[in-house]
Amino acid sequence: SMTTYAQEDNALTIFTNPRDRGTKFLKRGEDLWMFFPDAEELIKISGHMLSQGMMGSDFSYQDIMESDKLLELYEFRLLGEEELDGLLCYVLEGTAIPGQEVSYYRRKAWIDKERFVGLKEELYARSGRLLKVLHTTKVEQLEDRWYPVESVMEDKLRKDTRTEFYVESIEFNPHIPATTFTLENLR
């Protein structure tokens, strides 16, 4: 379990479950740092470490880093429309823009036509191999928008693994002090 504060391209995540309590991630633009309270150690996550599972999950650090800038990394095109779980969806394909460093060469997404929420995403390697699948399992209307509150990530390179992600509460547009996203605050 965790609490996350996010604003523009900055985010601070503080883990609250007993085993990981006090572990923190700080994302500032293109940089990601991690603080481990037991070792009182601050580590910058970079290179091959970004492709590893975040806290042992099926979500990589890079998944988190890329999530807010997909339009800068991929060229998208509309493939058509399909029904998914009884809902009519736009099917989009994103291919990495040449010269951009990305985790997945190609992405295929099913977007609910009525609520404009991603319901499924397949993530592929340059070879065409399916690497991961993200399914949104529950969507709720929060304030004036539809938001995915439950999802499952499956890593197709590992056998019998999945990570379930639940949003228990969310506040849109809160005031977050600028000092929240500093290295000093990470310790």
The string of pLDDT tens digits covering residues 110-146 is 999 999 999 999 999 999 999 999 999 999 999 999 9
The string of pLDDT tens digits covering residues 31-65 is 889 998 887 888 898 877 778 888 888 888 888 77
Compute the mean pLDDT over every residue in the chain, rounded to the nearest whole number.
Answer: 91
Give CA torsion, residues 22, 23, 28, 32, to 10 deg: 170
* Contacts for 99 with CB less than 8 Å, ≥ 6 apart: none
The number of beta carbons lying within 10 Å of the beta carbon of residue 161 is 14
Percentage of the chain surpassing pLDDT 70?
Answer: 98
Q: Give the three-state DSSP class for 180.
A: helix
β partners of residue 26: 12, 33
Q: What are phi and psi of 64, to 5 degrees?
A: -70, -40
